[in-house]
Amino acid sequence: MKILVLNCGSSSVKYMIYRWGIRRPLASGIVERVGIEGSFIKHQVPGRQIYQRSKKCPTHKEAAALIIETLTSPKVGVIKEISEIEACGHRVVHGGERFASSVRITPEVLETFRELADLAPLHNPPNILGIEAAMEYLPSIPHVAVMDTSFHQTMPAEAYIYAVPYEWYRSYKVRRYGFHGTSHLYVSKRASVMLSKKPEEINLITCHIGNGVSFTAIKNGKSFDHSMGFTPLEGLVMGTRSGDIDPAIIGYIAEKEDLTAQQVINILNKKSGILGITGKYVDRRDVHKAMEEGEGQAELAFKIECYRAKKYLGAYLAALGHTDAIVFTAGVGEKGWEMREEICRGLEELGVKIDPERNRQATSRNHEFVISTDSSPVKIFVIPTDEELVFVEDVVGILEGTYGKPDFHYSFEKPEYRNELRDEAYQRELEEQG
């Protein structure tokens, strides 16, 4: 079975085509600048050079057509005909309370996503556009939605209810939802393997640090608390998002700058965080380079981000009582040894002991690392995430009727699981390093 996975953002579409029978991705890539001048596709096939092509994509419909055209291209494609694609999985950021698990998309389900669009105005609309475009080009195959929020539906009420008028929850479903669920799910399952325990036997703090940043407290294998909230704006300092602030700031700045509340919220989403503090950087690599060159604002941004992360770690260590491991993942979490070191510094009295040398060596996105000392009561792992594999296995589980049943298990939660492509890539990295 060949499965296409689509992850539609506001101005991009990430994709992967996966052959289930041999458990390998055939190709992956991204269409960038959708709806913007200069749109292009970047297409990668294992063992080949990256292919890039510019083509105007005013909407997600044209982006989907470009992906299919590339996948079936005689020169750079990996399938001969579109009919070889037998199922399609879609990322949907916000499933609200309606969906506690992945679901096959029907007209009724799609309409529900439209009704929920105001809960995630930056994310759900492009998700919907991508689904509609894919269903137009692939009308005869099953389409499955995998929700970012579904993993966090196990949070107890004391973790997800806000201290605001309860009527807001009853009438408008104002509550903490949580995001990056597929990433937190994947690394938590892998952590259970590294701990030689069953998933339901472990307590973890999983730290997804990329442009977006979210931490999850996982108790007995299930999401117990999460840093993001009603939207992905709450929580930790991020690339362009502010994270936690005093909500009174919104009204205050709206009055001072003659803005609407929504305009201020847009600034908090798109022009704050690392970008807001430095005035010009989002990529943490740029921040570190600027720090080395003596830029004070860059150093301040680094310290603020790490300090907020340290506070969340402390809170979740207290909430869990006993913690087996802390897991770092996503782009910065997997490669940013400086941030990991700073976040864990000073937590020794809480049982968190990082090994500086191990930490500095853990900068590959193709290998799992233990970066704590041998004597650390709380283990510290670096685990590269694989959200697309979660999408694929949810699709297969739904089509085979096993998803959600007691005997449904992901392949990557088994001790014998191996990602051959990542193993090969890591060996090449070691050889290049000598």
Give the residue numbers annotated as catalytic, written as ranges. 148
Strand order in the sheet with 379-382: 222-226, 213-219, 204-209, 325-329, 379-382, 369-370
Residue 115 structure tokens: 């009704």
Q: Are the beta carbons of 145 and 128 closer than 8 angstroms?
A: no
Q: Give the β-pairing of 325-329 and 204-209.
A: parallel
Report CA 222 to chain centroid distance, whole Å: 17
Contacts for 204 with CB less than 8 Å, ≥ 6 apart: 188, 191, 216, 217, 218, 323, 324, 325, 326, 327
